Structure 1
C-alpha cells in the first residue's frame, strides 16, 4: 500500500482513543479506489494532534488501501528496522516561510454547496477551514465569471461605460461566493488570506469583443481601456468590502499566455511579460495604491505555468518602477510534468525578496480525463508529489482549485470538467472525500502559517520514489511529510534523526 506520512516529532503526545474521532465510512469504488462517504447526519473527522512533549511524536498516515490521516504515537528515535527510511532533520538550515494552503471559491463550488442542506455545506466549510479540519488559510476568488461558472458575465457589460456607472456585483457573488467566504472566514477564526483573479475584462474592452477567446485589451497600453480596467479592480474591492470581505492580494491576469489562442474555450486575455510590466507600473499599480480598499494588496505576477520562469519575473522585477508594486510570483501546475521544479529555485535566486506561491491545481484536466475519478490514488499522489517538489523549491504555499464539484466535475459552462477533493451528489444528499482531500490535510493541517522549511535529507537512500520535506513549526516542533510512491513493492518503516544545534521544545 502506498502511504503519505506526516510526522510530528520532538514534541509530546496525549494518547487518543478511537472514540474521540468519527471514522471514515470507507467506500471502495473500484479496486484500490476508496472514498470517505458523508451524509446528512454523519461525516468523518480528523484526529486532533493532542498536546506534545519533548522527544516524543505523533504520526498521521494515509494509504492507498484505505487509511485516511490515521493517527498513532510515534517514537522518533526508535531502532532502525530493516528497509527503514532514515530522514535527518537540521533546523539550523532554514529556507522559506510558509503562509498557507487553500482552494478557490468558484461559482461551481458555491452552486454545489448551495445544493446541499445547510448543515452539510457548513460542515464542508468547517472541515476545510477550521483548525479542527484541514485548517485552510488561503482562498482564491475569481473576479466575475470563469469557466467554472454557468455562463459568461462581467461586472459591467454595458459597452463603453468608461466611468463604470453600471458596475455591480452579480447574483453569483451574493449567493454562491460571499456567503461561503464569510463562513470560511469565521471557521478560520478570522484569519483568511483572500486573493482575487480576473479571467477577462468585459468583452467590450477586448479586441475580439468577448470575454471568451483570445484577445488583447483595446487601445494603446495604459490608454482609456487600461485605465478603466484598473478602476474595475478597485470597484471590485470596494463592493466586496461593503459585503464585509477584504482582500489580502490579487493576481493581474489568470493564465495570460492562453490569450494568444483565438479559439480558447473560455474567458481569457493576453498579456506578455512586458505588457504586464507596463500595465502594472503605468496604471494598475498606482490605481490600486490610490484606493483605501486596495492600497495594501499583495500583487502577484505571472499566474501561469512555471515554464514562464525565470524569464517572466525577470522582465518585470528587473524594472524597479514595476517591481515596487510586486509582492510575489503566482504559478499554476498544469505543465509541471514537462518542466523542472528547479525553475522555482532559479527564480528565487534571481529575486529572493519575492515569494513564490502555487495558485491553482487540479486533476482530470487532460484530454480523455475530464471528469472525477472517485477514490483515485494516482491523482492523490500527483498532488503529494507536486506539493513536496514545490515546497522543496521555495514555494510558500499551494492552492487546490474548486473546493467542491458535482459528480460530472462541474458545473462548467464550456464543459471543462475536472476533479476535486470533495465531490457532491446532491440528488442523494451525499458527498465524497477523495484521497486528494486527505493529501491536502497532510500539508495544510500540519504545516501551519509561519512554519519555516528546514533541511531534511534521506541518508543512504537513492530512490526517487521516496520524497520528503521538513519544517520547523511556530511552536518549535518539527514536521515532516514523507511520500513513498512505491510502497506496494518497497514498504518502508520510518526512522528520524535530529542534527540541529537548536534547542528542541
Structure 2
C-alpha cells in the first residue's frame, strides 16, 4: 500500500492546530433558585449543555449605577405583631431578614408619626400651636418600632440604612385640621423643618442613626383615605430649599439625605424638573424616591431614565411597593405564582388607566419590577411591611395588604411566602456599593440583571416568568457555563471573585 506522505503531513498539521486551540474554560458558579415547583433559594447544579440554549453575556467593564441597598419597612403594624410572637419566632423572623443566613437587608424605611399601617392616628407633636415643639416625643415608638429596629441592628453584621418618611403632620399644622389630605400651613414650615431635626435627635438618643428622609409620603395624596399631606412640586421644592435643607445644615445634620417626591413613577418628570431646575433648588435634594403603584407590570423605563439623566449623581430609590388590596393567602405558595391578585387599580383606576392593573402573580410583579428598576438606574429598592397577620393588617383603615412574612400570633406560627425568597435573591447577593454591569441577553423571554459586588464577586439574577423550562449559556471572560432555569422561577447565579 502506497502512503501519500503529503496527505499524512497535512492531516498531522490539522491535528496539531486543533490540539493547540484553546478550549473555552468552564465558568465556576453557584446557582440558587426559587420556583413555583417548590425551590426556595435552593442550591442547584449547572448542566452539560444544550445546542438550543440562549446566551447571556456579562461585561463587568461597563458599569452603571452604584447600589444603595435592598430591604423592607419597619411599621408599627409589623413591630406590634413581633411583640405578640414568642421570642423564638420573633428572632426567627429578624434573623431571616437581617442575619447572615437570611436576606441580609441593607436599606430600610420607617414612618414618622402614624400611617395606615399603625394601630391608630398619632403624632410626636400632640400639643397644638407648640411652634417650638417643646413637647416633641417619640414615646409612641418606644414599645414597638424602636425595639424592632434595635433588635435588627444587633443581628445585622454589615448594618443597614434607614429612610424615615412622614405621612402627615399633626392636624393642627394643616389647612384642613385633619389627618387626611390638606396642606401644611406656610406659617408652620419652619416648625415642620424643626420636626425633622428633633426626630433625628430623638432616634439618636435611642442609639439609632437615620440615614435619610423622604420629604413626604405620596404628596399627591391617597384618595383621601388615610394619613396624607399634599404638596405640589413647587411647594415641596420651596420647603426643602428654604426650610428643611437650611435647618438640617444649621443643626449640623447636612449629612442626612433628603429624597424628594416619593410617589408613583408616571409623575416623575414634573417633579425632577422642578427639584433640579436650578443649582439653588437642587442643592439640598440628594435624590428622588418612587413607588410602584402606577401599574402591576409597567416599570416606566422612560421616566426612570429621565430622572437619572436630569441629575445623574443623585439617588433614585424605590421606597415602597407591596401587594395591596389583598388578604394574604396562608401557606399557599402557588397563589403567589398565579395570576389571582388584584390591586387598588383593579377597582379604582380610571377607565383610561385600567389596562395597567390586570390580575397578576405577586412573585412576577416583584421580580419584574426589581429587575426593570435595576436596568434603568434605580439604586435602591424597599418593600413595604416586613410582617403582617393573616388578615393583612393590623391597619386602622382596614387597608389590607400582603407582606413577605405572614404570622398568626394566636397560634405563634410564621409563614415565609415566596415573596420573601424573591426579595432575598436581590438583597442577599447584591450588596451595597455594588455596580450594575452590562448584560447581553439573547432570549427576550428571560429577564436579567447583573451586579459586581465590592468583593469583586458578580451576582446575575435571571427570571423566567413563562410556563416552560429554559436553558442558557452564561459567558464571562471567555469562560462559560450551561444553566437550566425552571418554569416560573427566579435564579441568582454567583460568579466568585478571581
Q: Normalising by structure 1, what TM-score?
A: 0.82
- Give 1:54 deviation, angstroms: 9.2
1:246 corresponds to which residue?
209
Which structure has the bigger radius of gyration?
A: 2
What is the CA distance between 1:200 and its match in structure 2? 0.4
The answer to whether the Cα contact below 8 Å between 2:290 and 2:318 also exists between their aligned partners in 1 is yes
How far apart, CA to CA, are the structure 2 residues paired with 1:339 and 1:206? Answer: 34
CA distance 1:339–1:61, change in 2 (3 Å): closer
Deviations 1:231-275 (A, max 9, x none): 11111111111111111111100000117x5xx111010001100
Q: Does 1:158 pair with 2:127?
A: yes
Deviation at 1:372, TM superposition (A): 4.7
Are 1:343 and 2:323 matched, yes or no?
Answer: no
Which residue in the other structure is 2:143 paired with?
175
How far the C-alpha of 1:383 sits from its partner, in A, is 0.4
Matched, 1:381 2:364: yes
Q: What corresponds to 2:41 in structure 1?
A: 69
CA deviation vs aligned residue, 1:170-225 (integer Å, no higher than 9, x gap) = 33x111111110111121125210110000001001111111x210112x3xxx31
Instruction: After TM superposition, list the pairs within 5 Å mapping 1:39-188 onto structure 2.
Output: 55-74=27-46, 79=49, 81-171=50-140, 173-188=141-156
Q: In 1, are the aligned partners of 2:115 and 2:121 still within 8 Å (CA)?
A: yes
Which residue, out of 450, 455, 473, partners 1:495?
473
Q: Secondary structure at the match of 1:256?
A: coil
User: Per the alignment, in what secondary structure is the counterpart of residue 220 of structure 2?
Assistant: helix
2: CA distance, partners of 1:254 / 1:500: 47
Residue 189 of structure 1: aligned partner: 157
Q: Is 2:294 the partner of 1:326?
A: no
Say if 2:328 and 2:406, in contact at 8 Å, map to a contact too.
no
CA deviation vs aligned residue, 1:116-157 (integer Å, no higher than 9, x gap): 011211121111012221110112110010000011111112
Rounded to whole Å, the distance in 2 between the matches of 1:434 and 1:339 is 23
Residue ranges of structure 1 left out of the alignment (5+ in a row):
1-52
2:454 maps to 474
Rounded Cα–Cα distance in structure 1 between residues aligned with 2:26 and 2:298? 43
- Is the Cα contact below 8 Å between 1:372 and 1:418 reproduced in 2? no
Q: Classify the secondary structure of the residue corresponding to 1:62.
A: strand
Is 1:275 aligned with 2:235?
yes
Task: Check the 8 A contact 2:299/2:373 in 1, yes or no.
Answer: no
* 2:404 equivalent among 410, 421, 438: 421
CA–CA distance in 1 between the matches of 2:168 and 2:497? 50
Query: Measured at CA, do residues 353 and 473 of structure 1 come closer, stay the same or move farther in structure 2, by a change above 3 Å?
Result: same
Q: Give yes or no for the alignment of 1:229 onto 2:189.
A: no
Aligned partners of 2:472 and 2:299: how far apart in 1? 30
Cα 1:57/1:339, change in 2 over 3 Å: closer
May I ask how many residue pairs the two structures share in their alignment? 431
CA contact (8 A) 1:88 1:499 kept: no
User: In the alignment, does 2:163 pair up with 1:203?
Assistant: no
Question: In the TM superposition, what is the alpha-carbon distance from 1:167 to its structure 2 partner?
Answer: 1.2
1:214 alignment counterpart = 181
Partners of 2:215 and 2:383 in 1: how far apart?
19
1:315–1:474 Cα change, 3 Å = same
CA deviation digits over 1:353-375, x for unaligned, max 9?
Answer: 1121110010133xxx3555642
For residues 50-108 of structure 1, give each alpha carbon's deviation from its aligned partner in whole angstroms, at most 9, with x where no partner exists: xxx99311100011111111102447xx53x1542311111111111112101110000
